[in-house]
Structure 1
Amino acid sequence: MSYSYKCLLVHHIGDGVFHVQLNRPKQLNAINPEMWEEIEDVFRKLDTDSDCRVVIFSGNGRAFTAGIDLKSFSSNLTDLMAKDHDVARKGREILRLAEKMAVAFNLIEKCTKPVIAAIHGYCIVRELAVGFAADQGTLNRLPKIVGNHSWMHEIAMTARDFYGPEALQQGYVSRLFDTQEAMMAAAKETANAIATSSPVAVQGTKIVLNYARDHSVDESLRYVAIWNMSQLQTEDMAQSAVAVMTKGPKPIYAKL
């Protein structure tokens, strides 16, 4: 597959690990419409690329991302609002734009390959500060991730900055590092550990975890049982069982 982009850098760094970097360093990786489309494209491809088992997602330069490129999107919105349409028709166009933008971030979540976010510098999410409610998943996903609705309400409604220790305390991130180099080394170590495990088990685990987040325990138990009707019949499980019982090396699993 071709992974050549204007606003992204994509490298297959070996052993099933791909590295996707936001690549507008002079703009602190602010996300413009072109980058949005490229994020959608790359995660569609990685989802079906059998050479990919896990993805590291980071930003090139001084920051992960400065958030939405306000200049680009303000220009698009200004052009839309200048059209000789009534409010209903303009509203439909805004809805289509918002839904199209949401697809890119949805695909990161729905990609069956685990995605490790390696965040350094800025990671700005504060739509309220520019006059609208966040509509690309911040208000929908983060309350379920951090599990602290009071803190989430405060952050969303004040648009204040917060830093690594607070993010770790609230469950927004899983680990902190003193340097970007240490962070990337840990990301690669984690990615390699995942990539050498059974892709059937890894991808199934991500899919079931995503399902469980939005469903009841009973619904999730039923879902994983149905999922494993086929997944328990793979060679991966037999190979893994032998390795565990004999205390042998981890098997080399076939691509999926």
Structure 2
Amino acid sequence: MTYSYNCLLVNDIGGGVFHVQLNRTKQLNALDQEIWDEIGNVFNKLDTDSNCRVVILSGNGRAFSTGIDLTSFSSSLAMDENLDVARRSRNMLRMIEKMQYSFTLIEKCSKPVIAAIHGYCLGGGIDITSACDIRYCSKETDFSVKEVAVGLAADVGSLNRLPHIIGNHSWLREVALTARHFGAKEALEQGYVSRVFETYDALIAAAKETAKTIATSSPVAVQGTKVVLNYARDHTVDDSLRYVAMWNMSQLQTDDIAESAVAVMTKGPKPNYSKL
């Protein structure tokens, strides 16, 4: 597959790892309609690219993302005054659902996605990173669930995914209702990120190391693990147990299990697993 975009940089860095970078550097990777559409497109393609096993997602330049580019979206928010309220509302609904789906494709991508966050991660940046599987950041990162400050309730993922990520709902409601900024230390304490690094270079190096470790494991096992974890988050334990049993009734028949068992028992290197 080819990956050519105006607002994204996509590189195959080897070993089954792809690096996707938001690339509106002059705008601190603020999200306009073009980059929004490209994010959905690239993760839809990576989902079925057998050369890709893990994705790193970061921002090029000085920030991960400062959130929605309000200037670029002003025309989209202006509804046709010739339409009645019902029809204007239906058009608004379609626009919101389309925007939601672009970020949901990150979550639905069968390949694990590691967010490497630095600089600013505001508003839409939280929406994007909350859809990722693993989140790392550098120590200077400035976070904010920003939408209340610009007059709206966040509607493309933050308020829906954060309650499943962060156990302290009092803290979550505080930062969402006040739009106050918080730093890397607080993000780590509350469980939004799992690791904090001194520098951007150390952040990217660690993301690559984790990605390469994941990419050397069986893609059947890795992708199955992500699918089952996502299902378990939204269902009861009983439902999830039934789901993984149904999932594994076919997946346990993979050759990857026998190859992995031989490597473990002989203390040999990991197998070179077939593409999936």
1:128 and 2:138 matched: no
- Larger relative strand fraction: 2
Of the three residues 205, 213, 221, the one matched with 1:185 is 205
Aligned to 1:113: 111
Does residue 63 (structure 1) correspond to residue 83 (structure 2)? The answer is no
Distance between the aligned counterparts of 2:269 and 2:81, measured in 1? 65
The amino acid across from 1:72 in the alignment is S
Distance 1:221 1:245 in 2: 29
TM-score w.r.t. length of structure 1: 0.98
CA separation in 1, counterparts of 2:182 and 2:86?
38
Distance of 1:104 and 1:223 partners within structure 2: 26
CA shift at 1:86, angstroms? 1.3
1:83 shift after superposition: 2.9
Distance 1:84 1:157 in 2: 35
TM-aligned CA deviation for residue 85 of structure 1? 1.2
Displacement of 1:245 in angstroms is: 1.4
Separation in 2, partners of 1:136, 1:187: 25
Structure 2 equivalent of residue 14 of structure 1: 14
- Aligned residue number for residue 142 of structure 1: 162
Aligned residue type for 2:226: K
Deviation per residue, 1:43-100 (Å, 9 max, x gap): 010000000000000000000000001111122212x2x4311111111111000000
Which residue matches 1:40? 40
CA distance in 2, matches of 1:2, 1:103: 22
Aligned partner (choices 238, 245, 253) of residue 225 of structure 1: 245
- Counterpart Cα distance in 2 of 1:219 and 1:90: 39
State the alpha-carbon separation in 2 of the partners of residues 90 and 157 from structure 1.
28
SS at match of 1:135: coil
Mapped to 2, the partners of 1:2 and 1:246 lie a distance apart of: 39
Shift of 1:186: 0.2
Farther off after superposition, 239-248 or 30-39: 239-248
Q: Supply the RMSD in Å over aligned alpha carbons.
A: 0.7
d(CA) in 2 for partners of 1:93 and 1:236? 48
- How many residue pairs match? The answer is 254
Unaligned 5+ segments in structure 2 are 124-145
Q: String of CA shifts for 1:183-211, please: whole Å, max 9, x gaps.
A: 00000000000111000000000000000
Matched residue of 1:118: which SS? strand
Q: Secondary structure at the match of 2:273?
A: coil
TM norm structure 2: 0.91
Counterpart secondary structure, 2:9: strand
Distance 2:83 2:254 in 1: 56
- Whole-angstrom distance in 2 between the partners of 1:131 and 1:74: 14
1:85 to 63, 83, 95: 83
Identity among equivalent positions (%) equals 72
Residue identity in the other structure for 2:17? V
Shift >6 Å, 4+ stretches: none
Which blocks of at least 5 consecutive residues in structure 1 are unaligned?
none
1:50 match: secondary structure: coil
The answer to whether residue 215 in structure 2 is matched with residue 195 in structure 1 is yes
